[in-house]
């Protein structure tokens, strides 16, 4: 990008221009973005409906079940389930029923459901065919259970403030700006343009406008980096600062809007690894924890005369 020619134009009309370097500006930005929030533990509820399988086999005739010697109960046993008297004999309408005096806990019910092919995502088992009874489709057994779901770290809206310094070797040199922020580090500032305006002659044009950026490009956002674009207006003065006994012309202040992205937020912990905050891409059903987060708000710089042009 070509260098700006403001300094040259100012010299032509006799305006004082800094030949020294090192303007220092106080930088402030307030942005709206997201942060991590601890979700509460919950319980997920499941309903298990049982009937026949596709070949007409009844659920209680599954190889999982073995009748006791007296024929009053059936034990449930395989590699993952071992529940004595899990079923009890019923009547002609319901030959076998879940023995709720034995199968009481959510853990036993979940294990029994899994052994019968229950898919918690779809809510169906291997025995997913209903019986037509008196003109209605009915299930032959239904039971429910709950499973604990640990709370997840998720994103919620928050506000952040950034304070730091902007060091400028020459206000009108588009390669001589840098921003120093304690939380983000030191970054070169790309100056797209700075214009003076506000009057029909340069000696009275004491307003400025500019467009800047620092950090990574927006299309490079990957959840670990950051980048911002800034636009705003401000003031120009022939006595913006002092270099020894001489007045130095330059920008005294600017303010405007800032927009960009920050790294994926997380939930802070003391003695454990931080959990990343989940979010969903627009058309995705899968939560992700490495998505960049948007940040937008306002910014300002103001010349720090005490720190400017110090050896």
User: Which residue, 184, 193, 186, is CA-closest to 212?
Assistant: 193
Q: Report the alpha-carbon distance of residue 65 to residue 296 in Å, rounded.
A: 62
168-208, pLDDT tens digit by residue?
998 888 889 999 999 999 999 999 999 999 999 999 999 99
18 pLDDT more than 50? no
Section 254-258 average pLDDT: 98
Strand ranges inside 102-150, DSSP E: 131-133, 136-138, 141-149
Check: pTM over 0.85? Answer yes or no: no
pLDDT of residue 21: 52
Per-residue b or e along 162-174, where b marks 16 or more CB atoms closer than 10 Å to that residue's CB: bebbbbbebbbbb
pLDDT of residue 15: 38
Q: Is the pLDDT higher at 22 or at 113?
A: 113
Per-residue b or e along 38-47, where b marks 16 or more CB atoms closer than 10 Å to that residue's CB: ebeeeeeebe
Token pair for residue 53? Answer: 């399988």
Report which DSSP code applies to 70.
T
287-306, pLDDT tens digit by residue?
999 999 999 999 999 999 99
Strand ranges inside the chain, DSSP E: 23-38, 42-50, 65-67, 73-77, 82-89, 96-98, 131-133, 136-138, 141-149, 153-168, 177-181, 185-197, 207-215, 227-243, 246-262, 266-267, 275-276, 293-303
Q: Which residue has the tokens 């034995």?
A: 102
Alpha helices in 85-149 (DSSP H): 106-115
Q: Report the alpha-carbon distance of residue 38 to residue 239 in Å, rounded.
A: 52
4 pLDDT more than 80? no
Percent of all residues in the chain with a pLDDT value above 90, rounded to a whole number: 85
Confidence of residue 5 (pLDDT cuts 50, 70, 90): very low
Phi and psi at residue 72, to the nearest 5°: -90, -20
User: Which residue, 14, 17, 8, is CA-closest to 249?
Assistant: 17
Token pair for residue 180? Answer: 């120093």
Mean model confidence pLDDT for the chain: 91
């Amino acid at each position: 990008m070509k260098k700006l020619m403001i300094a040259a134009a100012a010299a032509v009309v006799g305006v004082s221009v800094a030949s020294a370097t090192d303007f220092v500006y106080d930088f402030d930005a307030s942005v709206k973005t997201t942060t991590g929030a601890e979700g509460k533990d919950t319980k997920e509820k499941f309903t298990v409906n049982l009937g026949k399988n596709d070949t007409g086999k009844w659920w209680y005739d599954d190889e999982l079940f073995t009748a006791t010697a007296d024929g009053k109960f059936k034990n449930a046993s395989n590699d993952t389930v071992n529940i004595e008297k899990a079923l009890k004999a019923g009547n002609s309408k319901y030959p076998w029923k879940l023995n709720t005096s034995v199968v009481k806990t959510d853990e036993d019910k979940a294990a029994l459901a899994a052994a019968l092919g229950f898919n918690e995502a779809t809510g169906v088992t291997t025995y997913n065919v209903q019986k037509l009874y008196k003109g209605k489709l009915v299930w032959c057994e239904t039971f429910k259970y709950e499973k604990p779901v640990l709370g997840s770290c998720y994103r919620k809206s928050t506000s952040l403030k950034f304070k730091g310094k902007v060091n400028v070797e020459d206000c009108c040199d588009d390669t001589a700006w840098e921003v120093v922020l304690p939380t983000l580090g030191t970054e070169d500032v790309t100056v797209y343009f700075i214009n003076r305006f506000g009057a029909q002659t340069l000696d009275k044009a004491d307003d400025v406008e500019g467009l800047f950026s620092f950090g990574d490009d927006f299309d490079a956002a990957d959840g670990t980096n950051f980048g911002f674009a800034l636009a705003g207006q401000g003031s120009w003065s022939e006595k913006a600062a002092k270099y020894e006994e001489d007045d130095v012309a330059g920008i005294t202040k600017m303010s405007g809007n800032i927009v960009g992205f920050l790294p994926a937020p997380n939930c802070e912990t003391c003695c454990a690894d931080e959990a990343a905050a989940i979010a969903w891409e627009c058309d995705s059903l899968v939560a992700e924890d490495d998505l960049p987060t948007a940040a937008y708000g306002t910014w300002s710089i103001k010349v720090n005369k005490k720190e400017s042009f110090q050896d």
